[in-house]
Amino acid sequence: SQKIEQNSEALNIQEGKTATLTCNYTNYSPAYLQWYRQDPGRGPVFLLLIRENEKEKRKERLKVTFDTTLKQSLFHITASQPADSATYLCALSPNTDKLIFGTGTRLQVFP
């Protein structure tokens, strides 16, 4: 069956460290993979998109990798801050009409 899996346990890290979140998928061959941030009581907000022919994408303190062989994307936040605390969702496109979301990983950055 098709699955998108993110670590369901919260990730707790200290301010200033690099947070690394994992997104694994099975039985999909997506052309694109996206990452979103969701704060409590708010809608998801788009962060980054990476294409299947791109290995890595960066935006300020964010970095995303996409390994189509391992069927995995890693999302890194460098020099993390308490304001980065949120739930991070990965999403992929199994076809041209849909965006399917993973279950999300909650990140907590402590001062």
Partner 1 sequence: DTAVSQTPKYLVTQMGNDKSIKCEQNLGHDTMYWYKQDSKKFLKIMFSYNNKELIINETVPNRFSPKSPDKAHLNLHINSLELGDSAVYFCASSQARAGGAGELFFGEGSRLTVL
Instruction: Report the distance separating Cα 38 and Cα 45, nearest Å.
Output: 6
| Binding-site member from 80, 87, 90, 109 for partner 1 (CB under 8 A) | 87
Q: Which is nearer to partner 1, 45 or 79 (CB)?
A: 45
Q: Is 11 a residue that touches partner 1 (CB under 8 A)? A: no
Backbone φ and ψ for 2, nearest 5 degrees, come out as: -85, 135
List phi, psi (to 5°) of 19.
-95, 135
Of 19 and 91, nearer to partner 1 (C-beta) is: 91
Report how far residue 11's alpha carbon sits from residue 94's, in angstroms, rounded to the nearest whole number: 27
d(CA 49, CA 41): 24
Rg of the chain over all Cα atoms, to the nearest angstrom: 13
Residues 29-68 interacting with partner 1 (rule: CB under 8 A): 31-32, 34, 36, 41-46, 49, 51
Neighbours of 37 (CB within 10 A): 20
Q: Is 69 in the site for partner 1 (CB under 8 A)?
A: no
Q: Which one, 1 or 95, has the nearer CB to partner 1?
A: 95
Cβ 16 to partner 1 shortest distance, Å: 27
> What residues line the site for partner 1 (CB under 8 A)?
31-32, 34, 36, 41-46, 49, 51, 87, 89, 93-101, 103-104
